[in-house]
Each structure stands twice: as C-alpha cells, then as structure tokens.
Amino acid sequence: MNVERVLEKYLQNKGPKIKYKEFCTLIKEENANAVANALFNLINREIDDMHDGKTLDRVVETMTYFEVLVTNKNEVNRNIINRKLVSLSRKLDIVETEWKNRFTNMNAIRSELNKVRRKIKEVMGVVAQKDVKQYDFMEYLITEAKDIRYIEYAVHKMPTLATVKDKENVPLFRNIVKRYLLCLEENNEEEILYYDNLISLMMSSKNFKLSENEKRDCLNLIYDFLNKKMVKKKRRKNDRMFQTIDSLVERIKGERKSKSNLDLLSEKYHVKVYFNDDDIETAKLAKVDMSGEMTDREVIDVYSISIDKGNAKQLDDLVGCRRLPNGNFELVVSIASVLSYFPYESDIVQNAIKRNQSIYLPTPFQRKDDDFSRTISIFPFEFAAENGSLNENKKRFARSYIFEIDPEGNVVSERFPKTIVTNNKRITFSEADHILEHGSSDKQLEETLQNLQQVATIIGKKYVGSEMYSKVKEYSDDPSGLRVNTIGSENIIYQTTLLTGVRVGEWFARNGYPCIYKVFYEDEDTKAKLQSMVDNLTSTYGGDQYKNLYQLILGVYPKSWYDVEGRHDGLGADHFVHCTSELRRAADIIVEHCLEVCYDKDPTPEEIEALKEEIASKVVEINAQQKNIEWFLRDYKKLFRR
C-alpha cells in the first residue's frame, strides 16, 4: 500500500509529510478500512518503539489523517475506527505512566500526549457527529423520499449507512422492522411491499451483519407482535400476513435460501418476461401487402430518417423536414403504428398494454444466456424489431404527425394521418453529430439534418420546461430506454417528439375528446424546499465530496403519472401525451386508439362514452404496473449482478 510506505518514512523522519490533498489521491483506489488499519498499525508501532519522545509530533500529525479519511472515504467503517481510537487512548494512558520513570522532561511529553488525546477526541467527535447525521439522512430517505432507488444509491456509495444507529443506539434495521410490522398490522399493501424490499436491500448490503444480540432483539419484536391479541384474531383471516412474517424470521435467522428463479421474481411483481405461443404466432402474421392502393392512407414522400442509439433494435420513429416555398418548415414525425397491424381489442395488443413498457436492462446486469439479454419487450421480437419496426429501406405502416412551422416556432397547420413510410436512412446520434459539424457527401441527408436542427432550436425556445425537472430526469433511472438528452442531435428527437406530444394533447383537450395524458405538477414551495435540502446536504457533507449524492434528496420531488386530464409543469405544457413510441410503451398505443375513435372519424356519443371508460381503467392499470416494474428492476439487479 503506497500510503503506508509514505507515512512510515515520515514517522521515521526519512521523508516529508504529505499534504492532505496528496493523501486523498493516494487512497483514492485503496480500501478505506485497510488504510485505517495501516494508520493504526503505524501509530501503535511508533508508540511501542518510542524511547525519547522525539517522534511524538509526527505521531500527532499522522493522527490528523484519520479525520481526512473519515471525511473523504464514504465506505470506511466508522464504528471500528471508534473502537480502535478508544483502545489507543487507553494505551497512551498506560504509556504515560511508564514514561514518567523513563524520561526527565515529562511536561513536554505530557503536552504532546494531550495533543494526541485532543486529536483523538476531535476525530471521535467527527465520527459521532457523522453517525448521527447519517442516521438522520437515512431517516429522511426512508420516511420522506420513500424511493428505493435513492436509498440503494446511498447505501452503495456509503455502505456504513446500512448499519447506522439512532441517538438511543438502536440500529436502523431494527427500527425498519418495527415499521414493517406496523404496516402488516394495518394491512397496508403498498407500505408492506416498500418495507419488504427495503429490508431485502439492507440485508444485501456488503457491510450489513446482524450480531446475535441484534438478531435476538429483532426476533423478540416479531414474537411480541405475534402475541398481540388483535394479531392472533387475524391469523385465520390473513394467512398471507403470517407467511410474510415467517419469511422475515427466516431471513433474520439466516435460514432463507436466496432467490434464483426468475419466474418467481416476475410473478411477484407481475412483470411478464416471456410471451405465450399465441402472441408469438400472431407477431409473425404482421406482414401486410402494400402493393395495392390504400385510400385511407397517405404515402409520405418527405425524406425521412431514424436517429437512434447504435444498438437499437426497435425503430419506432422517423423524422423528416424540408423548407417550403413560403419560408416555413414542414416537419414530419412518423411513428410505427401498432394498430395498423392488429386491432386494439386483440390479445396481442391488450397483453402489450398489460406489460406497460419495454424494460431496458442496465449493461452490468444484462444476461447472455437467454432471449431477453438486453430488453424485456412488450411485443415479440418478430414484430417489435422486424415486421413493425421502421427499418431502413422498408415500407411500413405509421401514424404521421405533419406540422407547418414558421421561423418563430408557431405551428401554422397540423395533420395526424395514417400513412405508409420508408426509412430513407438509419443513422446513430454520433453520426448525425458528425454530419452537422463537418457535412456529408449525401447532400439530402445533410440538408434534412440541418433543417431538423433549425426546427429543434426554435421549438426549444417555444417550449421551456422546469430546470429542476430536467435535473431530476438526468439523475433518475429510465427502464424504458426512451430518454434522450437536449444536446447535439439528441435534441432533434427530444424537441420534435415533445412538440408532437404537446400538439396532440392540445388537440384532444381543445375538442373535448377523452385521452390519456402524462401529468406532472410542480409548485414553487416544493422547488424551494428541495433546493434548500440540496444546499444543506452539500454544505454539511463537504461540497464536492458529496455532490453525487445530491440526487438522493430529489426523491421527495413529485413524480409524473398518467391521468384523464391535467397539465405537465415539468415540460411547461398545459396538455401532453405520449404518442411517439407504440412499439415500446402502452400509453402510446392507447393514444392512437383515441385518434382512431376521435380523429379518423366523427365519433358517436356512445363511442366517446366507451372510450372514457376504457381510458379510466387503463390509467389505473398503467400507473400500478409502473411501480411493479421499478421493484422488479431493483430485485433483478441483485439477482443477476455480475
């Protein structure tokens, strides 16, 4: 260990003292607890070998590195450092007694020893103070933010958070068990699921370990709960609750076998991983002969391209843009149309809606031994990536959103027809960025990208959303894999799909037709509270050292959901719908169904009423499934972590 060699030379007066910044650099890749042990070994050895007290100054200086270590290494075990500092203090008491008979200049030695004691007290004070703050921080995440993603991130960055204790020296885990039992008593299904997953998260942390005494205390809590009269009466009525308690007892005792069956995991969270035979066969039948005349469809002749990630398999959007003679732009956003291949009422469509959205597995957790190594799709591969995907140089059915936009970003006219489209060119974001910067020999492609960039720029000035909302999106997970940034060519896709979602939403609202909206409310009080929390966290925990934890606070930030009405403050839109990814998101399929009923023809009152009822039921279904997907992903990462 480099830091040990450097400090050893300093203690032996064979090398200079290293600055704190250099110390941080040396320990950057080191195990924090190993560094702490090295410091203790060096100091203990120096004290044991001390004969004249001349190195006491350097011992005192070496002690200061404990404070630097505790401040800068999140994963260091502060409880162990606490115990070792107490032992070192006792050792110094003994050494001082021995030194009285060995050295003549006791006043100077005592002065140096007091410096060491003060430093020990100072460091122990820092540790104690940090432990209290860490407990309060975890309490906030657990009871206020209540988002497993943020708690998991915090424990990953600072493993000691899983073992902190409150002011009464009660471990966090025992208090979590108390709350869990209360949820069971109240039969609060959502809270039960939350605390069940929270307990699993804590117990899977690399620093988590229950002592025999703590096991006994936790089990006594559970047994006391079971002995309550009111719980005894419920035993026959709620067998599921007692199965849950039995499972918790097994986990605490260490008797429960770890999950290894993906089917059990998907069943627990109602996430369908595999497709039934009927859906697979139906997906193969999605080919439609486009050679004949189709009077209900418009053939798009605007040069259209797909811009996506290099590994994208499901291409569900095309963009094209050209200058009109009057100086305006014609923007065409074409979306793969699921309902052009299958009726809305068909099993394959309804099953896709129940799945809610395609789930994109993070790279470190992708499996290589099955047919969903990267994506758990809402449609079988044969349709999602082949027959329905807007692949290059292939004719496909689509729903196109055609806008005439003036140089100020105003929409002069708009149409949402059923269409037949061709992907004239498939490019990646990096390829598009290169062309925008350096040009291309393909002048039609280059001109299209330049037009799209100009339109994206003026749209961006027209639709200005919340800065805090964009920050939250930047730090949050995206299991749908649909999120794009607002930089470079990604901004083209972001702005054009944003415009499409806003204009379609406004059309439904303006005409009084039912639709499924993406809704988000943000008030100034919440924004101010969050900013205060972010500022306080940064100042409390040392500025840049904790800048990566700032997103944890944002767990209290409001989340968006689907509803039958409502605005979207994050995007700065009175009405917004998801309609640009039918191959990967259920809400988009429902929006096209709304267009089929309300835009493609004049709906009857009975059709409108039936559509209202359909949307109301689907809103509940989709919102519930979104939470299931979040839980599923969290446990999936643990199950298949490399």
* Residue 465 pLDDT: 78
At residue 542, does pLDDT exceed 80? no
Residue the block writes with tokens 């329905």:
388
What angle separates helix 78-100 from helix 32-49, to the nearest 10 degrees? 0
**Which residues, in sequence order, are CB contacts of 638 under 8 Å at separation 6+?**
200, 204
3-state helix, strand, coil in the chain (%, to 5): 60, 10, 30
Decide: 506 and 414 in contact? Cβ < 8 Å: no
Phi, psi of 557 (to 5 degrees): -65, 140
Mean pLDDT, range 625-630, rounded to an integer: 86
**Residue 552 confidence (pLDDT) above 90:** no
Confidence band, pLDDT 50/70/90 cuts, at residue 415: very high
What share of the chain in percent tops pLDDT 70? 77
Strands (E), 514-591: 517-519, 561-563
462 contacts: CB under 8 Å, gap ≥ 6: 408, 409, 410
Higher-confidence position of 345 and 266: 345
The HSE-up count of residue 255 (CA atoms within 13 Å, CB side) is 7
Nearest partner of 229 among 273, 283, 185, judged by Cα: 185
**Which DSSP string corresponds to 100-169?**
HTT-S-HHHHHHHHHHHHHHHHHHHHHHHHHHHHHHHHHHHIIIII--HHHHHHHHHH-GGGGG-B-TT-
Average pLDDT over residues 123-143: 69
Greater confidence (120 vs 384) lies with 384
* 63 touches 85 (CB < 8 A): no
* Nearest Cα to Cα of residue 384 among 401, 359, 364: 359
pLDDT digits (tens, 9 = 90+) for 510-526: 999 999 999 998 877 77
With a cut of 70, say whether residue 341 has pLDDT above it.
Answer: yes
Which residues are CB-contacts of 154 (< 8 A; sequence separation ≥ 6)? Answer: 137, 138, 141, 161, 549, 552
404 close to 458: Cβ distance less than 8 angstroms: no
Which range in 92-96, 311-315, 453-457, 638-642 is most confidently predicted, on average pLDDT? 453-457
- As a whole number, the mean pLDDT across the chain is 81
Gap between the Cα atoms of 552 and 147, Å rounded: 9
The predicted pLDDT at position 259 comes to: 40
* % residues pLDDT > 90 (the chain): 35
At residue 68, the pLDDT reads: 76
Q: Is the pLDDT of residue 508 over 90?
A: yes
Q: What is the pLDDT of residue 458?
A: 94
Best CA proximity match to 241, nearest among 296, 187, 291: 187
Of 475 and 220, the structure prediction assigns the larger pLDDT to 220
Give the residue with greater pLDDT, 425 vs 52: 425
d(CA 481, CA 273): 17
126: closest CA among 72, 180, 168? Answer: 72
Q: How far is CA 135 from CA 39, 53, 143, 166, 268, in A?
A: 27, 40, 12, 6, 31
Highest mean pLDDT among 135-144, 183-192, 586-595: 586-595
Compute the CA torsion angle 224, 228, 232, 233 (nearest 10 deg): -160
Residues 237 and 58: their CA atoms lie apart, in Å, by 69
Query: Which of the residue ranges 29-38, 144-153, 226-235 would you say has the lowest mean pLDDT?
Result: 226-235
Q: Which residue has the higher pLDDT, 98 or 498?
A: 498
**Residue 534 confidence (pLDDT):** 67
CA separation for the pair 193, 184 (Å, rounded): 10
Query: 338 versus 554: which is more confidently predicted?
Result: 338
**pLDDT greater at residue 292 or residue 185:** 185
Q: Which residue has the higher pLDDT, 154 or 126?
A: 154
Distance CA 219, CA 198 (A): 17
Report residue 634: phi and psi, to 5°. Answer: -60, -45
Question: What's the gap between Cα 626 and its chain centre?
Answer: 13
Of 126-140, 211-225, 254-268, where does the model show the most confidence? 211-225
Exposed, middle or buried: residue 221 (CB in 10 Å: 0-12, 13-18, 19+)? middle
Helix runs in 52-105, H state only: 56-72, 78-100
Rounded Cα distance between 430 and 565, Å, is: 38
DSSP output for 329-380: EEEEEEEE-GGGTS-TTSHHHHHHHHH-B-EE--GGG--SSSTTSSEE-SS-
**Tokens standing for residue 481:** 């894999």
Give the 3-state secondary structure of residue 69.
Answer: helix
Mean pLDDT value across residues 348-375: 72
DSSP code for 30: S
Statement: residue 276 has pLDDT above 90:
no
Mean pLDDT for 475-490 is: 72
Measured between alpha carbons, how far is residue 145 from residues 34, 188, 289, 548 in Å? Answer: 34, 18, 53, 17
> Is residue 371 packed enough to be buried (19+ CB in 10 Å), middle (13-18) or exposed (0-12)?
exposed
Top pLDDT among 296 and 594 is at 594
Residues with Cβ within 8 Å of residue 87, at least 6 apart in sequence: none
Q: How far apart are CA 475 and CA 471, in angstroms?
A: 7
Q: What is the CA radius of gyration of the chain?
A: 31
Q: Which amino acid is at 227?
A: N
Q: Evaluate if residue 78 carries a pLDDT over 70.
A: no
Global confidence as pTM? 0.62
Query: How do residues 90-123 score in pLDDT, each as one tens digit?
Result: 777 776 666 666 555 545 555 655 665 565 556 5
